[in-house]
Amino acid sequence: MKNILVVFGTRPEAIKMAPLVKVLLKTPEFKTKICVTAQHREMLDQVLDFFCIKPDYDLNLMKPNQTLNQLSSRILTEIDEVLKDFKPELVLVHGDTTTSSMVALASFHRGIKIGHIEAGLRTNNLYAPYPEEFNRQVTSKVTSWHFAPTTVSRDNLLTERVSPDSISVTGNTVIDALLESANRVANLDNEESSKLKEIVDFNKRILLVTGHRRENHGQGFINICAALKEIAVHNPNIEIVYPVHLNPNVLNPVKALLGNVSNIHLVKPLSYPSFVWLMNQSYLIITDSGGIQEEAPSLGKPVLVMRDTTERPEAVEAGTVILVGTDKSEIVNEANNLLTDIKKYESMSALHNPYGDGTACKRIVKFIKSL
């Protein structure tokens, strides 16, 4: 039996690893254990609850506003104990967070093979997204098996002279999570959705906003808030709903700058089903998130991405996503455009599935079985 350790720490990693954990736990050839670094706490726990995942190890590492160096060093030290205890033959990490890169490094130091889920995404700009582009490149360097979501990401790895035999194109597990949750989300009626129905007029068009990127902290968020305020004031017939990330570098300026605009509703981070439900109710999504860029095409929701570059060109090519950066007038103009130009809006909201068909986890497990 192969000992497999699955490690993740943030909300998006948990969402994208959850369906894989489910398949791995049902595979008798593997002894699978789950470790969470808890780089995120509340936002991670929301996902663990929804997918009924009980970690075998919880490193409980989140501290308010800790620096990347503090977080990195604590992950390296704490995961080492888990590796020593469980002695995995394979460690699975996801994507581009500090958890992914530090767990990959710790596993490499112990001579343990690494499988990288969502491998090969690249902007080739170490500062955008920051520090994620570094995290994913460094993880690739020590990875034995690369699970690339698309042929674009496979080609990025081939360009870096990664051996083709070590790459498997699987689709993105985010679609597995989305499809698996669809039934539970369709007629959602929970505390969060009831509260939203009380405060938001769902007869109006909804603009859904999220944002958290480190490179947008400071002036970027000031511009984003100024743009949202202008959109809200000039379009009193719309409602803006913004579940605000708990990072104080986001939460504080957003609350201060947008706290008293009548048609902007700042709410706490939503549980995954409530957020998917809200995406479905929305007319337009404005975000700097990676995962939302992948989910939106499957839901037929146009997205304005508040970044200068993206490692997810598939959705841009499919026409669902427009990059607007953090320039105030760019965000305002594109949003107003999509609120008034219905033809343009409709062409952007055609359904696409560039990120997979919901079978990524099965493909990943099949590949691991074949090793």
168 bridge partner residues? 147
- Choose which of 55, 88, 131, 149 interacts with ligand UD1 (CB under 6 A): 131
Applying CB under 6 A, the span of 65-73, 135-143, 246-254, 264-272 interacting with ligand UDP comes to: 264-272
8 A C-beta contact, residue 243 and residue 276 = no
Applying CB under 6 A, the span of 52-60, 164-172, 228-236, 291-299 interacting with ligand UDP comes to: 291-299
Cis amide prior to 131 (ω within 30 degrees): yes
Instruction: Report phi then psi at 58, rounded to 5.
Output: -125, 105
Site for ligand UDP in 178-217 (CB under 6 A): 210, 212
Residue nearest to ligand UD1 (CB): 97
120 binds ligand UDP (CB under 6 A): no
- Choose which of 4, 8, 10, 360 interacts with ligand UD1 (CB under 6 A): 10
Q: At its nearest, how many Å lie between ligand UD1 and the CB of residue 93? A: 12
For residue 164, what is the DSSP state? G
User: Which two three-digit tokens encode residue 234?
Assistant: 């000039």
8 A C-beta contact, residue 361 and residue 23 = yes
Amino acid at 297: P
Catalytic hit among 40, 78, 116, 132: 132
356 binds ligand UDP (CB under 6 A): no
Per-residue burial over 57-89, b = 16 or more CB atoms within 10 Å of its CB, e = otherwise: bbbebbeeeeeeeebbebbeebbeebbeebebe
Site for ligand UD1 in 14-73 (CB under 6 A): 39-43, 62-66, 68, 71
From the centroid of its chain, how far is CA 8?
Answer: 12
Residue from 307, 201, 219 nearest 263 by CA: 201
The item of ligand UDP, ligand UD1, none sharing an interface with residue 41, based on CB under 5 to 8 Å by kind, is ligand UD1
275 binds ligand UDP (CB under 6 A): yes
Q: What angle do CA 75, 126, 360 make, to 5 degrees?
A: 65
Nearer to ligand UDP, 37 or 289 (CB): 289
Residue whose tokens read 């979501």: 149
From the centroid of its chain, how far is CA 337?
Answer: 27
The item of ligand UDP, ligand UD1, none sharing an interface with residue 218, based on CB under 5 to 8 Å by kind, is none
Among all residues, which ones are annotated catalytic?
Answer: 96, 118, 132, 212, 214, 245
The binding site for ligand UDP (CB under 6 A) comprises: 11-12, 15, 210, 212, 243, 269-270, 272, 275-276, 289-292, 295
Tell me which residues touch ligand UD1 (CB under 6 A). Answer: 10-12, 39-43, 62-66, 68, 71, 96-98, 131-132, 212, 246-248
